[in-house]
Amino acid sequence: MPVEGPAGREPTAMGLGGAAGPDRPARDLQAREQWVRVRTALRQDAGDHSFDAWLGPLALVSADGDTVRLAAPSAFAADWVTSHFADLLRRHWAAQQPAVRRVLVETGCAMSAASAAAGKPAMPGPATHSPAMPAVVRQAVPIDARYNFDNFVVGKSNELAYNAALAMAEPGAPGFNPLFLHGTTGLGKTHLMHAIGNIYLARHPDARVAYLSAEKFMVEFLAALRAKDTISFKQRLRSVDLLMIDDVQFIAGKESTQEEFFHTMNEIIGAGKRLVITADRSPQNLEGIQDRILSRMAWGLVADINPADYELRLNILHAKVSTLANRVAVPDDVIEFLARKITANVRELEGALNRVTAFALLVNKPITLEFTRETLADLLRAHEKKLTIDEIQRKVADYYGLKMSDLLSERRSRDVARPRQIAMYLAKKLTPRSLPEIGRRFGNRDHTTVMHAVKKVEELRGKDSEIDSDVATLARLLDG
C-alpha cells in the first residue's frame, strides 16, 4: 500500500552492514550515504508522484555484499515496488556500489523479525505518516467509521438503495457491478458508500479500498497530466479492490477526465473488482457525460433514494435522539413538529435537531415547542407555507364547534370569547400580520383588543393545562 513519507526525512533502519567488526560503523555510514544518493536519483527518474507514493517510504535495512535489503510499510507496497521498480532500484544501487546484484524489498514487520532472529537491533518502522491500511491511494478520503448500516434508518424511499449497498459489501462475487446510487443532496448516498467500505474492510482486512469524489478524481488526474505522471495515477486507482466515486455529475463536460474515468471503470469491472458510483440524478438524466460512460454505469444496478416521507423522518429523528442519552430531553411533540416542518432532506433535518439540542444545552433551557420555533425561526421561515388568518379562524372554529361568524361577532360569552382570543393569539404567533391587521380580520376590532387577547392566552397557558393543551394541539394542526 502506498503511503506518503514526511517531506525532508529519509527513512532509515538499524542493523546495517554485515558481520560485526571494527570497520562496521564506517560501512554503515557509507551505506546510508549511498542510500541518500540513490533516493535522489530515484526521485529524478521516477518523478515526484511515483517517488512519494511508492519509493519514498522505503527504509534501508542492510547493504551487504551483493544484496541490498529494503523495508516497505506493507506487503502490498513491497510487491508493487518489486514488480514496477526492481530494475530501477538495482541500476541506481549498482551505480553507487558495483558489487550489488540484488535489491530485496520486504515488509517492515518481516525485516524486524529477521533482525531479531539474527541478534541484530530491531529495525524501527519507516519514518512515514502511515494512514489506515485501507486508504490505498493518496487522493482518497478515509472511510468514516461513523457511517455504517446499523445507523442508517431504512424506509420505503431508500430501501432498494440500502439492500443494494448491503449486497455490494457481501463476500463473494457481487451479483451486479457497478452499483449506481442517485438522489438529491442530503438523502444518504455518502452514508451508504462509507457503510459499504466499513463492512467490506471488516470482512476483508487486507483489502484495498478507495473513496473519493469525482471532483477530486478530476483534480488529481489533471495534476498527474501536468506532471507527466499519469501512470502512477492509473496504477493507484486501478489496483484497488473496491472503488467508490461520489457525485459523478461533476465531470460533466470534462472530456479528458471522462476518458480516464471510462478506462478506470473498465479496468475495475473487467478485473472483477467492485465499483460504486453516486450522482444527483439517474444515468439517463445526466447531461454532458459520454454515452459509453452512461451505458457502463447503467449496466449494473441503478438504485434511487427518494426524499424521506413523514414516517421515515420521524424514525430518523427518534434514532438520532436515542444517541443523545441523558444529555437533553426532546419531547415527542418537538420531534413530530420537526418531522412535519423540515422536509427538504435528511441532512437538514438532523442539522435542525442538532441546533435545537445544542442551543438548549448552551442556555440551560428545556426543549419545548416554542423554544424550538424560536431557535429555528430563520430555517422555518424558509420552509413555511403561507398560513393565513382565515385558515386559523376556520381551524379554531372547527376545533371548538363554532361557526366562523361566531369568532367575528360581538358575542362575549366565554364559549365564544375564549376561542376568539386563542385565534388572535395564534394569528399573532404563526403569521407575520400586524396587530391592527389581525384586529380588522376579527370584525374590525382595535389592535389593543388583540394585544389583550395575546397577553391573556399567555397567562392562561401558564396556569391552565387544558388551555395550554388546546393551544398546542391547534398549533400542531396548523403547522401540519
Q: Classify burial at 99, counting beta carbons within 10 Å of its beta carbon; exposed 0-12, middle 13-18, buried 19 or more.
A: exposed
Q: Which of 329, 311, 320 is nearest to 348 (CA)?
A: 320
Distance from the Cα of residue 118 to its chain's centroid: 47
Question: What is the architecture of the domain spanning 310-383?
Answer: Orthogonal Bundle (1.10)
How far apart CA 324 and CA 65 sit, in angstroms, is 64
SS3 342: coil
How far CA 368 is from CA of 357, 375, 381, 436, in Å, comes to: 11, 10, 18, 29
SS3 121: coil
Residues 278 and 246 sit within 8 Å (Cβ to Cβ) = yes
SS3 287: coil
CATH number belonging to the domain at 159-304, selected among 3.40.50.300, 3.30.70.270, 3.20.20.150, 3.40.640.10: 3.40.50.300
Q: Which of 88, 128, 123 is nearest to 108 (CA)?
A: 123
Domain edges within the chain: 24-117, 159-304, 310-383, 389-479
| Cis peptide preceding 419, ω within 30 of 0 | no
SS3 267: helix
Amino acid, single-letter form, for residue 62: S
SS3 173: coil
Residues 302 and 283 sit within 8 Å (Cβ to Cβ) = yes
What does pTM read for this prediction? 0.52
Residues 84 and 54 sit within 8 Å (Cβ to Cβ) = yes
Q: What is the CATH number of domain 389-479?
A: 1.10.1750.10
Q: What is the CATH number of domain 24-117?
A: 3.30.300.180
SS3 12: strand
Cell numbers for 94 = 549498482
From first to last of its 480 residues, the chain has per-residue pLDDT tens of: 333 333 334 444 434 444 445 555 667 678 888 888 888 888 888 776 667 767 888 888 888 888 899 988 766 667 778 877 888 898 888 888 888 888 998 865 434 333 333 333 333 333 333 333 333 333 345 788 888 888 898 988 889 999 999 999 888 777 889 999 998 888 889 999 999 998 888 888 888 888 988 988 998 889 888 888 888 888 888 888 999 999 999 998 899 999 999 999 999 988 889 999 999 888 888 889 999 999 988 888 999 898 888 888 898 898 888 877 567 788 889 999 888 888 878 888 888 898 898 888 888 888 998 899 888 888 887 666 667 898 899 889 988 988 888 888 888 888 899 999 999 999 998 888 889 899 999 988 989 999 999 999 999 998 888 888 889 888 877 865
How far apart CA 176 and CA 55 sit, in angstroms, is 36
Q: Which of 37, 41, 78 is nearest to 57 (CA)?
A: 78
DSSP string across 377-443:
HHHHHHH-----HHHHHHHHHHHHT--HHHHHS----HHHHHHHHHHHHHHHHHS---HHHHHHHTT
Q: Please tell me the total number of residues recorded for the chain in this structure.
A: 480
SS3 29: helix
In sequence order, the β-bridge partners of residue 72 are 107
